[in-house]
A and B are shown apart, each in its own frame.
Chain A
Amino acid sequence: MASVASLVRPELVCPAGTPAALRSAVDAGADCVYVGFRDETNARNFPGLNFNRKELAEGIAYAHERGAKVLVAINTFPRAGNPGIWHQAVADAARLKADAAILADIGLIEHAHRAHPDLRLHLSVQAAASNPDAIRFYAERFGVKRVVLPRVLTVQEIAAVNARIAPVETEVFVFGGLCVMAEGRCALSSYATGQSPNMNGVCSPAGEVRYTETAQGITSELGGFTINKFAHDEPAGYPTLCKGRFIAKDKASYLFEEPTSLNTLSMLPDLIKAGVTAFKIEGRQRGRAYVAAVVQAFRAGVDAVMAGKPLPDIDLDRITEGGKQTTGAYEKAWR
């Protein structure tokens, strides 16, 4: 087991859907904040969310004055015949001196590498680089410095990847919404609604959601498909497609995943020992109070591990989806 002294202090990478959330995250102890532009170039293309160019410039200034970094997610896949807004997003991230761009599309990464050689590149989780050969490809061909790992690997597998890809850095999700499928390799949303994370930056889009009252309770639908049913006294959750209840083999169940959130606070020592460079918190669609609470909890957790102290006992139940939590694919039994 590695001694505390030999551990590398991981960065805490925190979400910001608005300038206020960015300031909250920085104030709460984020080492990095990641943001997106207000269009379909990023995978949280939700109404009322994200940054225009002026807000990004101000956000970068706020973060840099306090020693924090700003990463810009441009992690959808440019449309055939129309890469203009994606190229512009990369150019603006470079011009405004973002600390890195987080990209998923091979063509866009090649463009960024060629046109903006000084812009640091991170590989988005949406590229789902799940093995050392894939990671080395992005690093050697395009100079990618850090890879956000897809949520398919166990902690042991992550440690093995890190041992083989140095000096390329890895970043893993530690908290928040949980993709059940390999990220960026899922078309379930467009199958039901016509809009997908890869093409439109949305999964299970709000415009396709409907709640219907019945005698038994509330039915949630997405694109006309029933995703779940709730009794009158149950809270009706958002119909994210892969967190719904379906019938297979004559049995109704949460076939893919329960409505649950990733929470790896208890695994921080293992993830740090696995050589992960950065811990990512999901939730650019979340409010500033949520962001601040999660960032503070993980700040305390990372600082405790690095000081060789026991993990603080922090209860994040009240802010997780349906109050349920999982350590997801990091433990093999999840599969």
Chain B
Amino acid sequence: MTPSTKLTLGPVLFNWKPETLRDFYFRMADESCVDTVHVGEVVCSKRTPFFEPFIPEVVERLTAAGKEVVLSSLALIMSDREIAQARDLAQAEGVLVEANDISVAALMQGRPFVAGPLLNIYNEGTLATLAAMGAVRVCLPAELSADAVAALAAATSMEAEVQAFGRLPLAISARCYAARARNLSKDGCQYVCADDPDGMAVETLDEVPFLAVNGTQTMSYHTMDLLGDVAGLAARGIRRFRLWPQTFDMVAVAGLFRAVLAGKAGMDEAEDRLAALCPGAEFANGYIHGRPGHLFIEAGD
């Protein structure tokens, strides 16, 4: 048992209605057991203005509930507007910032920050540089195996975090595929990504579920499920696990991970419960087992 292991609620990667998003965060503040909550638009700067007015009250509510709040940056920063957003974010006071583009890490100028999962962090050398730049926590890339994340956790004094639940962010592009799927341009996108609050399912021509599209981001179709792996990873030095929000009952999902980490839930029972909480989801954990990411490797295989 590793009582010190913490749970992070990652930023909501999807385009949810501002009021829905606000209420989601209020509920996470009031009812969830997560230690840390990330807020902020990661995927598309066109979405940013809609939720911005709600951020102060959300941060206040989360903070009052005892949650650590982290403001996450955009992953792909190109336009003047995006550069300005990143610079503003880097000046945020009294709250930790997560850098998902290297420019944000540089803009922190030595102040503490979280090195996000969309940076390329594969080895000890990169960890050391980020630590020297002020990183205090690192959320490692999804495609690393258990051996790799354990080696990296052992090599740094930063808190090591691993992604443990939810559709995985796999790629980011300048092109919007939600718009393209509807024959719209990105400039005239009509914010159609909001139609798919868990992402747009992408199947092969044989109708096999494969990927999911969230605007300019491409994600896994499968929902990552490390319930069976978190205890072992915690024993190998991983001090935090990240749950990516979806429209499932995230309070219950977080409670389940907490119970498993505390040794209070049997694995079969926990997996059944997770399946019930995520109707229609197909689960995967291949990456952490050093296999293709879409696979689910049963414990003991």
Mark A residues whose CB is within 8 Å of B.
77-81, 83, 104-108, 110-111, 127-134, 136-137, 141, 152-153, 157, 160, 180-182, 184-188, 190-194, 196, 198-199, 219, 223, 225-229, 245-249, 251-253, 255-257, 329, 332-335
Q: How far is the CB of B180 from chain A (nearest CB, A)?
A: 7
A128 to B292 Cα, complex, angstroms: 24
B123 with A333: CB separation less than 8 A: no
Q: How far is the CB of A247 from chain B (nearest CB, A)?
A: 4
**In the complex, chain B residues whose CB is within 8 Å of the CB of A190:** 143, 287, 292-293
Given contacts A152-B76, A182-B171, contact A226 B208 (CB under 8 A): yes
A187 to B167 Cα, complex, angstroms: 13
**In the complex, chain B residues whose CB is within 8 Å of the CB of A333:** 185
A188 with B211: CB separation less than 8 A: yes
Most buried by B among A79, A192, A199, A246: A246
Most buried by B among A190, A253, A334: A190
Given contacts A191-B211, A247-B204, 7 further A-B contacts (CB under 8 A): A78-B125, A80-B152, A105-B122, A108-B125, A130-B77, A131-B77, A186-B171
**In the complex, chain A residues whose CB is within 8 Å of the CB of B126:** 77, 105-107
A246 to B201 Cα, complex, angstroms: 10
A87 to B174 Cα, complex, angstroms: 33
B79 with A83: CB separation less than 8 A: no
Could you list 21 A-B pairs, sorted by A, with CB under 8 Å? A80-B124, A80-B152, A105-B126, A107-B129, A131-B83, A152-B76, A152-B173, A153-B174, A182-B172, A187-B143, A187-B168, A187-B170, A188-B171, A192-B294, A193-B292, A194-B290, A198-B122, A248-B201, A253-B181, A334-B174, A335-B175
A198 with B120: CB separation less than 8 A: yes
Return the 6 tightest CB-CB contacts between A and B, nearest first.
A107-B125, A133-B103, A152-B174, A107-B126, A137-B106, A77-B122
A247 with B205: CB separation less than 8 A: yes
A246 with B203: CB separation less than 8 A: yes
Given contacts A185-B120, A190-B287, contact A335 B205 (CB under 8 A): no
A219 to B147 Cα, complex, angstroms: 36
Interface size class, chain B: 35 or more
A249 with B200: CB separation less than 8 A: yes
**In the complex, chain B residues whose CB is within 8 Å of the CB of A196:** 143
Mark B residues whose CB is within 8 Å of A.
75-80, 82-83, 86-87, 101-103, 105-107, 118, 120, 122-130, 141-144, 147-149, 151-152, 155, 168, 170-177, 180-182, 185-187, 200-208, 210-211, 213, 218, 220, 286-287, 290-294
**In the complex, chain A residues whose CB is within 8 Å of the CB of B290:** 194
A93 to B294 Cα, complex, angstroms: 37
Which of B143, B207, B208 is A199 in contact with, Cβ under 8 Å? B143
**In the complex, chain B residues whose CB is within 8 Å of the CB of A134:** 77, 101-103, 106
A182 with B173: CB separation less than 8 A: yes
**In the complex, chain B residues whose CB is within 8 Å of the CB of A107:** 123-129
**In the complex, chain B residues whose CB is within 8 Å of the CB of A199:** 122, 143
Given contacts A133-B103, A181-B173, contact A110 B129 (CB under 8 A): yes
Q: Which residue of A lies closest to B221 (CB)?
A: A191
Which of B105, B141, B218 is A188 in contact with, Cβ under 8 Å? B218
A191 with B122: CB separation less than 8 A: no
Q: Which residue of A lies closest to B179 (CB)?
A: A335
**In the complex, chain A residues whose CB is within 8 Å of the CB of B293:** 187, 190-192, 194
B123 with A80: CB separation less than 8 A: yes
A136 with B122: CB separation less than 8 A: no
A248 with B125: CB separation less than 8 A: no
A111 to B129 Cα, complex, angstroms: 10
A256 with B78: CB separation less than 8 A: no
B125 with A185: CB separation less than 8 A: no
B123 with A329: CB separation less than 8 A: no
**In the complex, chain A residues whose CB is within 8 Å of the CB of B75:** 185
A248 to B176 Cα, complex, angstroms: 14
B177 with A80: CB separation less than 8 A: no
A194 with B286: CB separation less than 8 A: yes
**In the complex, chain B residues whose CB is within 8 Å of the CB of A249:** 181-182, 200
B77 with A191: CB separation less than 8 A: no
B103 with A131: CB separation less than 8 A: yes
A141 to B186 Cα, complex, angstroms: 35
Most buried by A among B141, B173, B206: B173
Which of B77, B120, B173 is A77 in contact with, Cβ under 8 Å? B120
**In the complex, chain B residues whose CB is within 8 Å of the CB of A334:** 174-175
B286 with A80: CB separation less than 8 A: no
Q: How far is the CB of A32 from chain B (nearest CB, A)?
A: 25
Q: How far is the CB of A241 from chain B (nearest CB, A)?
A: 9
A194 to B297 Cα, complex, angstroms: 13
B78 with A131: CB separation less than 8 A: yes
**In the complex, chain B residues whose CB is within 8 Å of the CB of A110:** 125, 128-129
**In the complex, chain B residues whose CB is within 8 Å of the CB of A105:** 120, 122-123, 125-126
**In the complex, chain A residues whose CB is within 8 Å of the CB of B86:** 131, 133
**In the complex, chain A residues whose CB is within 8 Å of the CB of B187:** 332, 335
B213 with A77: CB separation less than 8 A: no
A223 to B295 Cα, complex, angstroms: 11
B125 with A225: CB separation less than 8 A: no
A255 with B144: CB separation less than 8 A: no
B208 with A225: CB separation less than 8 A: yes
B202 with A248: CB separation less than 8 A: yes
Q: How far is the CB of B286 from chain A (nearest CB, A)?
A: 7
B203 with A247: CB separation less than 8 A: yes
Q: How far is the CB of A280 from chain B (nearest CB, A)?
A: 18
Q: How far is the CB of B136 from chain A (nearest CB, A)?
A: 17
Which of A79, A181, A246, A257 is B171 in contact with, Cβ under 8 Å? A181
Most buried by B among A106, A193, A226, A252: A106
Q: How far is the CB of B120 from chain A (nearest CB, A)?
A: 6
